Chain A
Amino acid sequence: MSLCVEQIRHVCTLGAFESVLAIKRAVPIIHAGPGCVAKLWTTLGSQNGHQGSGYVGGHAIPCTNASEKEVVFGGTDRLRKVITNTFDVIDGDLFVVLTGCTSDIIGDDVGEITRKFQAQGKPIVYVETGGFKGSNLIGHELVLDAIIDQYLQPQQVEPGLVNIWSSVPYQNTFWSGDIEQLNLLISSLGLKPNVIFGPDSSVDAINNIPKAQFNLVISPWVGLRTAEHLKDKFGTPFLHYPALPIGPTETSNFLRTVGEFAGIDPSVVENVIRKQEERYFYYLERAADTLLETRLLPRRFITVADSLYALGIAKFLTNDMGLIPEKQFITDDTPTNYQSDVAAEFAKFTNDIAAETVFSNDGGYVEEEIRRLKIRSRPIILGSSWERVVARDLNAYQLSVAAPIGNELVLSKSYVGYNGALQLVEDIYSVVLNDFM
């Protein structure tokens, strides 16, 4: 991995407090320096689709704001006080203590403090997320580990119930829309998604995680650790589907794979697919004139995104839209042990097309590489708002699909599934059309 990082696209382990905020009425309690929340929130929230503080985010998050005193004398007293008062002040159902660099380096025993509250029956867990441990994607998994180990209780399995581990809250700009779309897809097969994050989430869903018939990981690597952990702990089987399903080819394949794994009657699955594809092609047929006949259409695309989006988008644009992938830059600090598996997925496209992958979380390096590419025609760069500059310089089209996205307001939008693919086509070709007028 790159040593130095310019133009950052993810943050440090502590950024996983955003995953806590993604669960309705769950409350992070941060034991860290005074600036950590505001800084992490900039990349994951305010400059990422302009996701605001929501129920208890931003300046509402209880935080010790560790100062010199805590660094010198230890911060456990301060933390104990803040936790105690949080229970009185903040109206929540689950509390997650997360630590930052200061606490982890000086070695505050946060576990001991939290266990005392747990012993009193409080719904609280803790997780050490000192920033130097890695990215917030790792942090996201650590938070889930903490919930699994310190909070979940074994449950009777409920047939048909599925936990979905996919888009990472706030890191993936379209996470909440994605979750809604994935839930719709899963429900269309007659399964019941257990909604852990997003607008329909609840702490009940957290409690119900062990009830699931299976865990569904839809992502190149993030979430695998969670599924493995749940398998160890509760024996829940899991299905790993490495690509985010975008567009008819991938989504139909996805539905068939899930249907088979869940033991659903293939005729049910095929029925769903037929209906959805008909709708998709109704719209695509209408768009076809423009997709073929507009001046200066992009033929090639460059993706600069988390592996989740890079793969999902690359598959759709290649397999369904007839575009050709240029280099695919994967910026999520993919742990080295997953990199070859992730890269292998980029070699499985239609017409034997393979996309070259570059793993780097250093946007400065990515930019240099992009400038070095020799591309005929005007390409489209699907990246973050960092790429707006290089896109302008190279006369490329640009669409923001990965954090940080400062140039778009994102609410429920998603590129997932059949409908998401239509949205992506709308967005890409609107960029092109806007360029002419």
Chain B
Amino acid sequence: MSINLDRSQVIIREKRLKSIVGYQGTIKDLAEQSQSGCLKNASRGFSQATNCNSGCAQGYLSSITDAAIVNHGPIGCAGDVAGANAGFQWGQRIRDWDQRNVRIINTNMSEKAVVFGGDQILKEGILKAYERFKPKAIFVTTSCASGIIGDDIESTIKKAEAEIGIPVVPVFCEGFRSQIWASGFDAAFHALLTRIVKPAEKKRPELVNVINFVGSGRALITEIFGRLGLVPQFGIPYSNIEEISRWSEAGATISICGTLGGYMGNGLEQNFGVPYVTALQPHGISGFDDWLTKLGETVGKEKEVEEYLAEQKILAAPELEELKFKLKGKKVVVGMGPSFAHNYIRFLEDLGMEVVWGFSWHYDAKHDHGGCPSCTTELTKKDKDIPVSVSDQQNHEVINLLSKVKPDIFIGRHPGMSVWATKMGIPAIMVSDEYSAFGYQGTIEFGHRIIDALTNNSLAVNLSKRVNLPYTEWWLEQDPFEFLEQKNKKTERENKKNVAVR
């Protein structure tokens, strides 16, 4: 579906990308069903707390350096701001900047506003944000409450904008609207594409937009790109409004994550003529090779990329061999967002490990360029079919499954997940930095991280001996996907085979 910048509101992933949060089967089946267009979301008779898209939208936009955010809702909807600030402090630290706090104001919606409407408090919030921060733009993030009571956000924003003379941009991200929290990234990018990015006055073919989060990999990428004659422009976090307005000047856009960058990348391509590189993620060797090769193809630097990769291969070969030897046959369960999950599955299999289960917190049946996600189709090329499920951090499914398949290690991303494997005595790694396992050296680094986690597991073992899980014995005896209401659910026998006790 093409990205429509005439709308003020982004189309949520369920509708745009046929995204789902409930599925159980195998990677080949998942890809097949999404390609044939018959993939359906399965609901659950029991569910646990997940996340909402406002978190992604707000968190992402809050680290634009000269913008402010007005979060229109009860104060709890700004509960994640302390987390956004912690991330922001870290990002400023690694750039050696003076540290300041994130600029987010919450409209503190009370009972009165719920009854009589919140337009007035929103207006006040916007004016307050302008007065306090003198920002170059203000983003207004919505909440369940503002969405349900039907505040006329757009007209309030227009009025405020006329008064203060800077862009005031709505970011529609009510928690209840989408079950896919990554819809919040799209909402954030939609706001940027519609109101901040301007058509290019001049083109800069050497410039490459790199969409990422905190951006710890900047130095390395700058060095690699430099060898190719390219200049990276990192963002959106830690960019300023002026820089973002000129993202249209670049020769290409590439992302560290397919889930994150797709909307912005394709939006820039479709509306501003900047090609988007739809490669694998640069985690692990084959991912990195593909990422850089496709970039090279897009900007006409094939030869330079080829040379660089050939050199890296030789340098890294001995250490990679050693890693593969040590990790061969180790059983791993992966639990991450869809792009990271499917990329890490590939990468860990490349290291010789056996991925016994892959959880992705949601799954996009297609991406904004139209095709099935490349990280997923790539996995279908392997002989081995990998059991996977789609489960928005449904802890009961994860724990039940882990208790049955008992992997050597759990590798996750997103807070509040790896800890549960640890409580079961299973060593766990949380991939919080998006540049973990990036490129050749990152891959080797990460391999050693796995080896270290396997070498001393005393914390997990000690915890597991003393800590009780909150699940009943009854539940742990059930099929992990008992509550998944999936029509073509794998038969119990097939399922047993996949989650067989090892």
Contacts and interface: CB of A to CB of B under 8 A. Distances in A.
- The reply to whether chain A is a binding partner of chain B is yes
B52 A406 contact: no
Interface in B47-87: 47-55, 70, 73-83, 85-86
Interface string A1-20: 11111111011111100000
22 contacts: A3-B108, A5-B75, A12-B76, A35-B181, A36-B76, A38-B80, A39-B55, A43-B81, A48-B82, A53-B419, A59-B394, A65-B179, A67-B177, A89-B46, A101-B74, A101-B114, A101-B145, A102-B145, A102-B148, A105-B145, A131-B73, A132-B110
Nearest to B472: A91
A70 interface: yes
A35 B55 contact: yes
A88 B45 CA distance: 12
Interface string A52-90: 110110111111111110110000000001100110111
A65 B472 contact: no
Give the interface size bracket for A toward B: 35 or more
B395 A60 contact: yes
Interface string A398-416: 0000001010000000000
Contacts of A1: 108
Given A39-B79, A406-B86, A6 B49 contact: no
Given A39-B79, A92-B470, A132 B113 contact: yes
Interface stretch (A26-34, A251-259, A345-353, A422-430): A26-34
A67 B53 CA distance: 12
Contacts of B53: 35
Contact of A43 (B47, B79, B99, B475): B79
A131 B76 contact: yes
A42 B104 contact: no
B77 A131 contact: yes
B336 to A, nearest CB: 14
B133 to A, nearest CB: 9
Interface in B412-471: 415-417, 419-420, 468-471
B417 A102 contact: no
A61 B179 contact: no
Interface stretch (B120-128, B292-300, B301-309, B366-374): B120-128
A90 B76 contact: no
A30 B89 CA distance: 31
Contact of B48 (A10, A40, A62): A62
Contact of A101 (B99, B129, B144): B144
A47 interface: yes
A130 to B, nearest CB: 8
A388 B53 CA distance: 29
B7 interface: no
Nearest to B77: A39
A200 to B, nearest CB: 16
A102 B472 contact: no
Contacts of A33: 52, 144, 174-176
B184 to A, nearest CB: 9
Contacts of A36: 49, 52, 76, 79, 175
A115 interface: no
A39 B80 contact: yes
Given A27-B470, A47-B85, 9 more contacts: A6-B106, A35-B51, A47-B86, A55-B468, A66-B176, A89-B471, A131-B145, A361-B75, A406-B86
A21 B81 CA distance: 22
- 4 nearest A-B pairs in the assembled complex, by CB-CB distance: A35-B52, A12-B76, A131-B74, A37-B49
A407 to B, nearest CB: 9
Contacts of A64: 47
A5 B50 contact: no
B369 to A, nearest CB: 27
Contacts of A133: 111
A102 B74 CA distance: 11
B493 interface: no
A268 interface: no
- Tell me which of B76, B144, B415 has the highest count of chain A C-beta atoms within 10 A of its own C-beta: B76
B163 to A, nearest CB: 16
Contacts of B145: 101-102, 105, 131-132
B76 A39 contact: yes
B67 to A, nearest CB: 14
Given A53-B416, A105-B145, A406-B86, A14 B76 contact: yes
B420 to A, nearest CB: 8
Contacts of B75: 5, 8, 10-12, 131, 135, 361
B384 to A, nearest CB: 29
B176 A71 contact: yes
A102 B111 CA distance: 13
B82 A42 contact: yes
A389 interface: yes
A364 interface: yes
Contact of A62 (B47, B86, B124, B179): B47
Nearest to B99: A389
Given A3-B121, A7-B101, A82-B47, A105 B79 contact: no
A364 B176 contact: no
Given A35-B55, A38-B80, A58 B175 contact: no
A392 interface: yes
Nearest to A13: B76
Contacts of B392: 34, 65
Nearest to A71: B176
B393 interface: yes
Contact of A63 (B48, B70, B419): B48
A53 B470 CA distance: 11
Interface string B95-135: 00001110111111111011000000100110011001000
Contacts of B51: 34-35, 38
Contacts of A34: 49-52, 175-176, 179, 181, 392
